[in-house]
Homo-oligomer: A and B are copies of this chain.
């Protein structure tokens, strides 16, 4: 029998694998006598001790049996029929969930610009090397003071308490720690919401445009999504469907990605609709931390006297998505169902990270970080808008927005085809631009761009806007000779 060692790891382990493969494939069949340890050692250039160790292991695992004075024999294992190697042809999705997840997965991903000088991508928060140092200290501290035990599925109590304090001060939401659930970011919050509230085929309203991750997860889960248009006042409540959906997913503070704020009268209209139709409202407050006007609106949840609003907050934008920490404020009647779902989906979030964040909030470091980040982002935002006015002038309309980490612009004098050329041209020049259209189910008549300014210095932003103006000029010049 030819035994080929694969060169991975210790010799005896290689020999064991080789002999097992020969037995399982049927090349060494039941009852065959193995070579003597001495002979095999000589043949393979191994020490006899190595071969002895391998035989002993094979015996312990039941592959061979030893007969006293006569050597080792392959055991009867009934290995036929031979197990086939895996097929390479595409395989049908194993569950309906998997099938739906395959179908929705790439509306946005192919459009990422890699390696450009000025990438105006939205998503990752401000990269702040100082945060690494601060966070390292907080984690080390948490490791010193926190027993390494699984935390409650609902989340580490001190962190929930800090979140309550924060919500009361900053978002006008009065809530007790029992109604807060710690999750691993907004995406998990949406996934848990789907599990708790949606059966396959249930209708769910989503804003158009919307956060694509919510669209993906709700679709994969089996919801029938009903996109409802938004305008400068947010969701157009008059267009909510006649027949009640199970839930309405909204971004009231800062419509994602268009940037509008849901007006107070629409807020009340939405809550009345939810009450009348017995449906739930999911308020995703993904980046309300960064506001540049004096007077942010309080969260929708703070108006909700019917206990129908599920509030989602996250630390991914204000600190880092690397943490995987966010939270939900739950209606009383749903709290236990959400805690059950969180438990079943993988128990609580990591204990030390939760303890570190609780301490960071308690000692004021979080507020300090927030103030500093807001100051930096405000300067970048102003540089971006000034650059747009200077270099693009009246060719772009800047959508009015006083929050977040990106600016939306509309280009009413250009066609979608021209914007595609613009994006390609900008990419060649080292500027990554992102279109609005992929965020829509029904893309608008006028093309738009989403300009993330989080990770470029004000100088870079000025240069980027200069480049943007030059690309626009080139498009304008080419209008005389259309392609």
Chain A positions within 8 Å of B, measured between CB atoms, are: 6, 8-10, 13, 16-17, 20, 24-25, 56-57, 60-63, 75, 77-79, 81, 83-87, 91, 93-98, 101-102, 105, 124, 127, 131-133, 135-137, 139-144, 146-151, 168-169, 172, 174, 183-185, 187-188, 191, 195-200, 202, 213, 216-217, 220, 246, 263-265, 268-269, 271-272, 275, 280, 293-295, 297-298, 302-307, 316, 320-324, 331-334, 336-337, 340-341, 343-353
Contact = CB atoms under 8 A, between A and B. Distances in A.
A334 B168 contact: no
B322 A187 contact: no
20 contacts: A8-B168, A13-B168, A60-B294, A85-B307, A86-B331, A86-B333, A93-B337, A97-B199, A98-B195, A98-B340, A102-B340, A124-B150, A133-B144, A135-B352, A139-B352, A148-B320, A149-B321, A188-B345, A188-B346, A345-B345
B264 A77 contact: yes
Contacts of A324: 150, 346-350
Given A149-B322, A187-B344, 7 more contacts: A94-B334, A137-B140, A139-B140, A146-B322, A184-B349, A217-B345, A322-B351
B168 A147 contact: no
Contacts of A124: 149-150
B187 A94 contact: no
Nearest to A144: B136
Contacts of A349: 184, 324
A348 B77 CA distance: 41
B62 A263 contact: yes
Given A306-B83, A334-B94, A340-B105, A17 B196 contact: no
B63 A264 contact: yes
A126 to B, nearest CB: 10
A293 B96 CA distance: 44
Contacts of A343: 187
Given A79-B268, A147-B127, A94 B345 contact: no
A167 to B, nearest CB: 11
Contacts of A137: 140
A55 to B, nearest CB: 11
A303 B344 contact: no
A61 B98 contact: no
A124 B302 CA distance: 40
A25 B303 CA distance: 10
B341 A94 contact: no
A83 B264 contact: no
A390 to B, nearest CB: 30
B184 A84 contact: no
A216 to B, nearest CB: 6
Contacts of A351: 322
A268 B346 contact: no
A60 B24 contact: no
A79 B20 CA distance: 75
Contacts of A265: 62, 77-78
Contacts of A131: 148
Contacts of A10: 169
**Residue of A87, A96, A132, A169 with most partner-chain B CB within 10 A:** A132
Contact of A136 (B81, B139, B151): B139
B24 A174 contact: no
B275 A83 contact: yes
Contact of A306 (B86, B93, B275): B86
Nearest to A91: B333
> What are the 4 tightest A-B residue pairs by CB atom distance, in nearest-first order?
A136-B143, A60-B295, A188-B346, A62-B264
Contacts of A147: 127, 132, 322
Given A196-B95, A295-B60, A336-B102, A320 B149 contact: yes
